[in-house]
Structure 1
Amino acid sequence: MTTPENSPQKAHGSWARGAATRGLVALPLVAGLVTAGWLLAGGNDRPAVATAPAPAATETSTIGGGAGPSVLEVSAPVKAEEPAQGAKPLETWATGLAGPLGLPLESLIGYANGELTLRAEQPNCHLSWVTLAGIGQASAGADKAGGPMGLTQAQWKRWGQSIPGIAKPAITDVNSASVAAGRALCNGGADLGGGKGWWTAVEKFRDSELFRQQVLGNAQLFATLSLDPAKASSPSTRATRFALGQLGLPYVWGGNGPDTGAAGFDCSGLTKASYDDAGVGLPRTADTQYHSLPKVPLNEEPKLGDLVFYGNPATKIHHVGLYLGNGLMINAPTEGQAIQIHTYHSKGDDYAGAGRPVS
């Protein structure tokens, strides 16, 4: 079996940098909620190879009882640590979180100012700084003319001309751009406090499925870490960051990623590469990963970075994803689809439980 190159920093840099410009492959969801059969009965986690993808599978695709969850249920990021008000308290708050979140201090202050400004201007919008941070992260590789939030000139002209406390707003200034982006998101009485409102607002902000998934994934991670910054340096967080960087790459049967000559990953190739990047070795297939890991009690929700498995433990585990939090997983579904975020457990699926690579 071939495993990913054991150079975590090289892999993370080369695979993650291109994420913002990738196109999703046959992404099976629209506006956050569409069903599709994506796990193959009989197992889509076949023996690993690092060459070209295998021919299309001949097994029958199933929905429900023979497969894992096939939807992304509309979801907003969990409630995050609230920013402090006032210049010095805000700077203290941001100084404590910028490092754990992996964000520049100036950017985090800008995202927080965006929330605080919109909290005053449109309190019913319930905009959180983590959404703005997710947009900033997803816009990192976009056209520099759009500034740190990837605003179009039309958005900037409409929403960025008058920013409280800033004499000369500029699209390149993260404080100005965060307020403008917040106004665009909250336009029309939008309420980002719930899943449907959040998803619709981000969809209107930029019509790209990959962008919306990147915003959701990164905002969810930032929210989780803001409530427990000590987790930031953990292997589970490093693995999650790596997996988020692969959103939009294609599923490739036996794929171990671009640095091994494959265009993308299969399900267990993604989870193994994610933990390789974090310095934790895993077996190569979903079945062997399941049987090698300590189990999470079935009555407990998985934690960030846990692996979630599908199939029958007594016969074969045929699929695995990486748990993101808030009922979501990062998932390499099957041929013809992209690495994406899905709801991890739906009624009628064959969810077998979760394993914890690191305590």
Structure 2
Amino acid sequence: MATGGRRALGCGCSTVLAIIMVIAVVGWALSLLEGSSPIRQLQPVPDNVPPAAGAEVPAIDVHDSGRTSDKLGYWADPLAAEMSIPAPALRAYANAELIAADSWPNCHLHWNTLAGIGFVETRHGTYTGKVFGGASIDDNGVVSPPIIGVPLDGSPGFAEIPDTDNGELDGDPDWDRAVGPMQFIPESWERFGRDANGDEVADPHQIDDAALGSATLLCANDRDLSTPEGWAEAIRSYNMSNDYLVRVRDAAASYALGQPAL
């Protein structure tokens, strides 16, 4: 009787499931006939270098005290939802664009290039490299848990960079590791790290600081990112890989269209 009961129950569930599937398919077909799709259709991504600029960032006083990226919430938060970018990250990228325009007006850096790098490096501070347990950006803009890369010990596919910071940033006293949402090695952070959230500390694990550090690196050496040569040189200064450049370009170009990275 128990076995028979299970069979009868299973048969009934299958019938109900079949009915539900038919209803769902009919509803989906009707939505197509009405001109709307239940699945968002992403636009094809151009392969221009440099990629087109993203949505224009409203002007704010980047010299004001405190965390100036907070002033961009009304602009960034709706866009962030459309593009599947954490809102604090988009605010940080936009804030860094404005600071770069003020500090290096001939650089012509746009926030979506920073977002392209952030996507490729750590999915905007959410990917830790572990199968289970991602990271997130807290209310102070700090990524938790900290994102720490593999030891750069010369293993196949990795550079060999002995420790340069006594493990202060990456917790490794033997080898340097890339750290934070924009994945700076300690030696590079020493050169390009900047404070962008007004606490007078340059922290590679804090998204505003990390984004501005990236902007500083990209705009170094008087680069003009409005030219194909300048943009490509800037991205290669981050990672000397053509595959990396293409992935950053595609993500930045997708954000310029107001959609998630492909």
- Short-chain TM bin: 0.5 to 0.7
1:216-264 CA-partner distances (Å, limit 9, x unpaired): 0000000111xxxxxx4xxxx7xxx5xx4xxxxxxxxxxxxxxxxxxxx
Does the aligned pair in 1 maintain the 2:49–2:228 contact within 8 Å? yes
2:118 is equivalent to residue 85 of structure 1: no
Secondary structure at the aligned position of 1:203 is classed as helix
* Residue equivalent to 2:244: 211
* Aligned mates of 1:111, 1:172 — CA distance in 2: 14
Q: CA deviation at 1:168?
A: 1.8
Shift of 1:187: 0.5
Over residues 7-59 of structure 1, what are the superposed CA-to-partner deviations in whole Å (9 max), with x where a residue is unaligned? xxxxxxxxxxxxxxxxxxxxxxxxxxxxxxxxxxxxxxxxxxxxxxxxxxxxx
- Rounded to whole Å, the distance in 1 between the matches of 2:257 and 2:47 is 19
Identical amino acids, percent of aligned pairs: 29
Out of 226, 232, 237, the position equivalent to 1:193 is 226
* Structure 2 SS opposite 1:84: coil
Residues 103-152 of structure 1: CA deviation (Å, up to 9, x unaligned): 00100011111111111110100000000000000001577232111112
Q: Which amino acid aligns with 1:96?
A: P
How many Å apart are 1:162 and its aligned residue? 4.5
Query: Structure 1 stretches of 5 or more lacking a match?
Result: 1-71, 226-231, 245-359
Pick the structure with more strand per residue.
Answer: 1
Equivalence map 1:253-332=2 (5 Å):
none
8 A Cα contact 1:74 1:199, kept in partner: no
- Once residues 97 and 212 of structure 2 are traced to their aligned partners in structure 1, the CA distance between those partners, rounded to angstroms, is 8
Seen in structure 2, the aligned counterparts of structure 1 residues 166 and 122 have a Cα distance that, compared at 3 Å, is farther
2:118 corresponds, among 136, 139, 144, to 136
* Residue in structure 1 matched with residue 30 of structure 2 by the alignment: none
In the alignment, does 2:50 pair up with 1:76? Answer: yes
Name the SS for the 2:222 alignment partner: coil
Q: CA RMSD in A?
A: 2.2
Is this contact kept in 1: 2:51–2:249, CA < 8 A? yes
Q: What residue number does 1:159 align with? A: 192
Give TM-score scaled by structure 1 length: 0.41
Q: Distance in 1 between matches of 2:196 and 2:119?
A: 22
Distance 1:202 1:137 in 2: 14
Q: Once the 2 structures are TM-superposed, how far is the Cα of residue 163 of structure 1 from its aligned partner?
A: 4.1
CA distance in 2, matches of 1:163, 1:206: 23
Larger Rg: 2
Q: CA deviation at 1:211?
A: 1.7
